Amino acid sequence: MKKLLSVLALSMGVAFTASAGVVVIGNPAAADMSLADAKKAFLGKGNSSLVVYELDEGNATRTEFHSAVTGKSDSQLKAFWSKQVFTGKGNPPATVSSAAAMKSAVASNPSAIGYIDEADLDASVKVILKP
């Protein structure tokens, strides 16, 4: 019974460390952001001086982020941006392929925001929102 409990405890520990949860990041000098402001920014409706970065389509962290912040699924988000582009109301944010690329893009621009899994954080960026 002890072995079974030990294995269960270890497997739960691995599951918790694999994905700590998504966080919105900014340059270390950036101010904190509200959930409503993050939703607007990632849907192209917020502060136009922000430079917004997304992870590539199909990335699990992107799916988790949009579920928590914008409330849109991948297909809803794709349809939303298609409509915005078609009607001339906006363009989707630039995309990056990895958490490392996201941190590099956000750290190098004081006006940039993005999101990563909390487990990928380092001192190059600041958490400005935990949805």
Asked if residue 75 is part of any domain, the answer here is: yes
Q: Domain total for the chain?
A: 1
Asked if residue 2 is part of any domain, the answer here is: no
Asked if residue 14 is part of any domain, the answer here is: no
Q: What predicted TM-score, i.e. pTM, was given to this entire model?
A: 0.83
User: Going along the chain, which residue ranges are E strands?
Assistant: 22-26, 51-55, 94-96, 112-117, 126-129
Asked if residue 74 is part of any domain, the answer here is: yes
CATH of the domain at 32: 3.40.190.10
Angle ∠(22,106,42) on CA atoms, nearest 5: 55
Asked if residue 6 is part of any domain, the answer here is: no
- Do 129 and 35 contact (CB within 8 A), yes or no? yes
- Indicate the pLDDT class of residue 19, thresholds 50, 70 and 90: low
Strand-pair category, 51-55 with 126-129: unpaired
Secondary structure of residue 26 in the 3-state scheme: strand
Which pLDDT score, from 0 to 100, does residue 7 have? 47
- Do 55 and 97 contact (CB within 8 A), yes or no? yes
Question: Containing domain of residue 80, as a range?
Answer: 22-129
Asked if residue 40 is part of any domain, the answer here is: yes
71-109 exposure pattern, b = at least 16 Cβ within 10 A, e = fewer: ebeeeebeebbeebeeeeeeebbebbeebebbbbbbbee
Asked if residue 15 is part of any domain, the answer here is: no
Residues 58-93 pLDDT 10s: 999 999 999 999 999 999 999 999 999 999 999 999
